Structure 1
Amino acid sequence: MGKASGVTAAVVLIGDEVLSGRTQDKNLQQIAQFLAPLGINVIECRTIPDDADVIADTVNTLRAKADYVFTTGGIGPTHDDITADSIAAAFGVGIDIRHDALEVIEHWYAKTKTPLTESRKRMARIPDGASLIVNPVTGAPGFQVENVFVMAGVPSITRGMLEDVAHRLHGGAVTRSRSVKADNLREGDIAIPLGEMQARYPQVSIGSYPYFLEVSQGEVKRGTHLVARSTDDAALDAVIGEIAAMVAALGFDGRIDPED
């Protein structure tokens, strides 16, 4: 299912609490960082409410655009955890408590000496035909339906589940990132030549990111961080060399691949 931009993924962050600002998302960052060394690039992320129709429509849209889709949130034991039902609806399949998922949950709650309530058994409801994703943190599994991976919203649980996902993925060429950072350089100083450089190197993604840092007593240090990303090592190195030369010609001290 390859795309022109290589192997791709989309992320769907599900939850009213994320949209309201009560919960700060960390899953996009950790999923993207987990996928990058596998040669899989996140091309889109959507944050959506706990709404069954919205979840199903979003997943169907993104699974047609990206090689893989990762959803987080909404697979817990409460009434508003509707992601599993919504995924079943998106694929047009049934859903019910599944024996293997229930066994996992029963074992986990017995081990932790926690009562297995009816509401907790809801976490064993799995769409027909899905394969389970191991949850080493709290036991209740996620699941995979075709190219869609459904995981918990709690970042530590999501991270644990990713360990059971990696072997199911077929990656592509790994995208490398290099950069040049220059204090006092303004974006307007390099906008035109940077655009011309991008036109010459279409295989390299070139981004310009201004920064403003308060250093002491209200004093602000400003500058621009120029970042290039590509699967073509030779082109990437050539771009970084040209950016560094351009920055130096303007009289600024450009730091190549700074640690900060």
Structure 2
Amino acid sequence: MTDSPATPPKIVTAAMLVIGNEILSGRTRDANMHFIAGKLAELGIRLAEARVVPDVPERIIRAVNELRATYDYVFTSGGIGPTHDDITADCIAQAFGVGIDIHPEARRRLEAHYEAGMLNAARLRMARIPDTATLIDNPVSAAPGFRIDNVLVMAGVPSIFQAMVASVAADLVGGDKLMSRTVIALIPEGAIAEQLGSLQQEYPDVDMGSYPAFRGGKASCAIVLRSTDKARLDAAAEKMHGIFRAMGGEPFENEIV
């Protein structure tokens, strides 16, 4: 009989909301989701859901309210630029039931960034921030993102998005970090499915995923195990080694990137 973990892990979750017709149409490839997932993992925060919504106010508002009620953090990307279809800030204000106006500090940053006479009405739209929100620094192009409660609103341009994430990383409170081990053998996935299911029942606190592939023309299977408890993770991984060996395979390990 396998001992249960002594204390439940501290789990902190997040969601990513990608906003923009250009993503859904295929004109723009989203790179921010991959980046935020990796960065949050480093901080002990699990990206638990990701959504892509069009530039439709009611869709954005509904998604923001659903996600912020479900997860510890919500990160949005896109829709805070200077054009008419940049409606994210207004939608966030509506989602929280607050007003929105030119933020004095946001305006000051834009005035410092642009040459005299270049801060036109369109660019000034980027200084419109919902009431009660705090600014997120943008060292790339000055126009700030903002945070209101557990929702962090950021630009869609990857370089700016990444810079904004870096500026807030120190303020994010994470939980216990997930550790992982990947056990691989030249055994077809179907051959170990039943044993893997039994192993998962024995170690319910260890997340297990099965990834079939062909290696050197032969069917193989990689079992990725993740847990916040190293002892439990190692015990489950060693039993996975035994399952593969019992099926005639010679297991080995590496990392799934």
Q: Which runs of 5+ in 1 are unaligned?
A: none
How far apart, in 2, do the equivalents of 1:198 and 1:26 lie? 32
2:144 aligns to what SS in structure 1? strand
How far apart, in 2, do the equivalents of 1:181 and 1:83 lie? 44
How far apart, in 2, do the equivalents of 1:253 and 1:5 lie? 35
Q: Which amino acid aligns with 1:146?
A: D
- Tell me if structure 2 keeps the 8 A contact 1:135–1:157: yes
TM-score normalised by the chain length of structure 1: 0.91
- Tell me if structure 2 keeps the 8 A contact 1:50–1:82: yes
How far apart, in 2, do the equivalents of 1:99 and 1:136 lie? 18
How far apart, in 2, do the equivalents of 1:23 and 1:31 lie? 17
Equivalent residue for 2:248?
A: 251
Equivalent residue for 2:43?
A: 38
Equivalent residue for 2:142?
A: 139
Which of 171, 176, 179 does residue 173 from structure 1 map onto?
176
How far apart, in 2, do the equivalents of 1:4 and 1:236 lie? 13
Equivalenced residues, count: 250
Which of 110, 114, 120 does residue 105 from structure 1 map onto?
110
Equivalent residue for 1:127?
A: 130
Equivalent residue for 2:221?
A: 224
How far apart, in 1, do the equivalents of 2:36 and 2:189 lie? 30
How far apart, in 2, do the equivalents of 1:156 and 1:191 lie? 42
2:101 aligns to what SS in structure 1? strand
- Tell me if structure 1 keeps the 8 A contact 2:77–2:154: yes
How far apart, in 2, do the equivalents of 1:108 and 1:231 lie? 44
Considering only aligned residues, what root-mean-square deviation do their CA atoms show, in Å?
1.9
Query: By how many angstroms is 1:4 displaced?
Result: 7.9
1:236 aligns to what SS in structure 2? helix
Query: By how many angstroms is 1:253 displaced?
Result: 2.6
Equivalent residue for 1:56?
A: 61
1:25 aligns to what SS in structure 2? coil
1:135 aligns to what SS in structure 2? coil
1:165 aligns to what SS in structure 2? helix
How far apart, in 1, do the equivalents of 2:131 and 2:214 lie? 51
For the pair 1:151 / 2:154, whether they are aligned, the reply is yes
How far apart, in 2, do the equivalents of 1:136 and 1:114 lie? 21
Query: By how many angstroms is 1:221 displaced?
Result: 5.5
1:210 aligns to what SS in structure 2? strand
Which of 207, 210, 218 does residue 208 from structure 1 map onto?
210
Query: By how many angstroms is 1:178 displaced?
Result: 1.1
2:129 aligns to what SS in structure 1? strand
Q: Which amino acid aligns with 2:212?
A: P
- Tell me if structure 2 keeps the 8 A contact 1:208–1:226: yes
Query: By how many angstroms is 1:74 displaced?
Result: 0.5
Equivalent residue for 2:18?
A: 13
Equivalent residue for 2:3?
A: none
- Tell me if structure 1 keeps the 8 A contact 2:140–2:160: yes
2:74 aligns to what SS in structure 1? strand
Query: By how many angstroms is 1:106 displaced?
Result: 1.4
How far apart, in 1, do the equivalents of 2:98 and 2:256 lie? 49
- Tell me if structure 2 keeps the 8 A contact 1:181–1:258: no
TM-score normalised by the chain length of structure 2: 0.92
How far apart, in 2, do the equivalents of 1:240 and 1:192 lie? 16
Which of 63, 71, 78 does residue 66 from structure 1 map onto?
71
Query: By how many angstroms is 1:29 displaced?
Result: 1.1
How far apart, in 1, do the equivalents of 2:13 and 2:135 lie? 22
For the pair 1:189 / 2:191, whether they are aligned, the reply is yes
How far apart, in 2, do the equivalents of 1:7 and 1:88 lie? 25
Deviations 1:179-208 (A, max 9, x none): 11224x221011111011111111110000
- Tell me if structure 2 keeps the 8 A contact 1:133–1:165: yes
Q: Which amino acid aligns with 2:234?
A: D
1:172 aligns to what SS in structure 2? coil
- Tell me if structure 1 keeps the 8 A contact 2:181–2:255: no
Identify if the C-alpha distance between structure 1 residues 254 and 229 changes in structure 2 by more than 3 Å, giving closer, same or farther.
Answer: same
